[in-house]
Amino acid sequence: MRVLLLLLPLALSGCGLITIFDSTSVRRGSLVSPDALAELVPGTSTRADATSLLGSPTAHATFDDNTWIYIGEVTYTRIGRTPGVSKQEVVDLHFDEKGTLRAIRKYSIKDGKQIAMAPGATPSPGSEASFMQQLLGNVGRFTPAGLPGSNGNSAGGSGGRSGNSLP
């Protein structure tokens, strides 16, 4: 009996049931290397230098093409396959009009702010049907083949085309 209890976890691992306890890390976005970021010097580095060291930015600022944003995070799987974030960072590079790097700002998960969701839902017209509309909503919408009003043959018709109809 004890041997079966000892072999049970081994048998379950083959079925994939034990993998709910695995913690796998996944990199998402552009995580900027501290060594590569240290090579960028405000006042002397250019956009070409930033692209060669860091790659293309994740995004540009909405109203300013001179602000490049690199966003990255490392997520892991918690017990029960719920996601967790172990590292999150945002790096902003600000360039002047000539393309020279002016400032570097780095934000971590500690700089983030929790935003509460607005309660309720946005109403959309026509999405709420009354009880009677729900009850009688499909009356007359379905006509099985072979009955008057269907696309098939009518009950009293000849089943073919009349001589005066167009093809």
Contact criterion met (CB below 8 Å) for 40 and 94: no
Give the pLDDT score at 20: 54
The CA-atom distances, in angstroms, between 147 and each of 82, 151, 155, 159 are 55, 9, 6, 12
Contact criterion met (CB below 8 Å) for 150 and 143: yes
* 140-152 per-position pLDDT tens digit: 676 677 666 656 5
Residue 33 tokens read as 């290397």
One-letter amino acid for residue 120 of the chain? G
Please indicate, yes or no, whether the overall pTM of this predicted structure exceeds 0.75.
Answer: no
* 69-102 per-position pLDDT tens digit: 999 999 888 777 778 888 889 999 999 999 999 9
Q: Can you tell me the distance from the alpha carbon of 73 to that of 86, in angstroms, rounded to the nearest whole number?
A: 8
